[in-house]
Amino acid sequence: MTQTYRLNRLFRLRDLPEFVGLRRTQIGELIKSGDFPQPVPLSDSGRAVAWLECDLVAWQNARIAARTRIADEAKVEAS
């Protein structure tokens, strides 16, 4: 029986603005405040880091859910 493994796709900081729609400085602020996924160290020194695609997708889904929740609350208040 052959088992297939899927590698995790990694995004470096330079690639994140295109993926998440925020500037690098905004991403840094969100990381510090705990509102953005933590990077994965790629080297022992910790200088080279990247983000897992699955963590970024989960973050995007949470932002979408928050938007939907806020819109639903606004509809209830308006009624």
- Note every long-range contact of 24-29, with CB atoms under 8 Å and residues 24 or more positions apart, other chains counting: none
pLDDT value for 4: 77
Model confidence pLDDT, tens digit, residues 1-24: 677 788 899 999 999 999 899 999
Q: Identify the CA nearest to 59 among candidates 13, 10, 1, 19.
A: 19
The residue-averaged pLDDT of 30-53 equals 94
pTM reported for the whole predicted model = 0.78
pLDDT value for 33: 97
Cα–Cα distance, 79 to 5 (Å, whole number) = 51
* φ, ψ of residue 58 in degrees (nearest 5): -60, -40
